[in-house]
Amino acid sequence: MTSHTPAFCSIVPPHLLERLAESADPAVAEAARRTLAVDLTQRTTRTERPAPAPAEDGAGKPRRTIHDAKNGTQLPGHQVRGEGEPATTDDTANRAYAGLGATYDLFLNAFGHDSIDGAGLPLRATVHYDEKYDNAFWNGEQMVFGDGDGELFLDFTLPVDVIGHELAHGFTQYSANLAYYGQSGALNEHVSDVFGSLVKQHALGQSAEQADWLIGAGLLGPAVDEGTALRSMKAPGTAYDDDVLGKDPQPAHMDDYVRTGSDNGGVHINSGIPNHAFYLLATGLGGNAWERPGRIWYATMTGGRLSEDARFGEFARETVSVARELYGDETAEAVVRAWSGVGVSTS
């Protein structure tokens, strides 16, 4: 079966890189254009969805390998660390190894899901990809991290939620397989933001109230004067408002839904709407977001009832149904209120 999800899913959206490519600063424009060119090559390379990994001895433990592209583009590159091997002298490789582990831990310990496919899929990552590459991506088979240009974007292994976000595209690929266009594509990005944030909260032991609900905090470099992250689930549209990056375009409510033909129909933009619904639910219920809210979203994705081209309303109704099945009417009503808060009907 060919995956309905495209092989290439990146953390920095094309609309942001396209703006940077028009910058009056030659260094900024060059880095963005180079990144866009590499992304286009990756985006047009389709990958068959791999068959689930066979069960092996040691199930319930991660199987990680970290490779170094040495600033080239050949994948996977030279292996620098395998599962259980000691840390290397390369902090980037060690962060990638730890981030893969943190993502694996969330899925296993919070949801009983062995790796991103539920069957112990080995997790592979490549670091130091290309030169001044301003992105990180999942290509259908593995994670890839750029070093950033050092001015606008720093090393893409720095925020653990970026690692969790991209690996969660693999989770979607193996579960609901949401089509990467329009509202289903925005849900695809939303699910990655949710599980990316949960990876960070789980690793830090943070409750929903303690979490910052930012995606990519710590990624923006010294040339960004007004920006904290790539996206905010707490307050979509407020992650940055900068002379170079521009204004964060994410809406938090269906009243402001952005209709566009770019970015696969605004998948990185309109994901702000379901993102905010999840934030409202998690903070409304309180406690750890990977518990009731996370389990509802996980069961929605793995339950087999979502259509691949699901729109917001279908996804929302399924979360209500799952909440009622798992936790009863009170929690289901909390889910209804969260979606109502962003203008999505569940009736």
Domain boundaries, the chain: 9-174, 182-340
* pLDDT of amino acid 47: 45
* pLDDT of 60: 86
Q: For 120-155, write each residue's pLDDT tens digit.
A: 999 999 999 999 999 999 999 999 999 999 999 999
Spatial separation of the C-alpha atoms in residues 69 and 62, rounded to whole Å: 22
CATH topology of domain 9-174: Elastase; domain 1 (3.10.170)
Tell me the CATH class for 182-340.
Answer: mainly alpha
Pick out the chain residues at pLDDT < 50.
1-5, 47-55, 57
Q: Tell me, yes or no, if the two domains 9-174 and 182-340 fold the same way.
A: no
Catalytic residue among 67, 165, 202, 268: 268
Instruction: Work out the burial of residue 190: count CB atoms within 10 Å of its CB; fewer than 13 is exposed, 13-18 middle, 19 or more buried.
Output: buried
pLDDT of amino acid 232:
98
Nearest to 173 by CA among 273, 268, 47: 47
> Can you name the residues that pair with 220 across neighbouring β-strands?
153
**268 catalytic, yes or no?**
yes
Report the pLDDT value the prediction gives residue 6, as an integer from 0 to 100: 56
pLDDT of residue 42: 84
Give residue-wise pLDDT tens across range 197-243.
Answer: 999 999 999 999 999 999 999 999 999 999 999 999 999 999 999 99
Q: Which pair of structure tokens corresponds to residue 248?
A: 């964060």
Catalytic residue among 166, 190, 276, 318: 166
pLDDT value of residue 7: 66
Please state whether the predicted TM-score (pTM) of the whole model is above 0.75: yes
User: Tell me, what amino acid is at 85?
Assistant: E
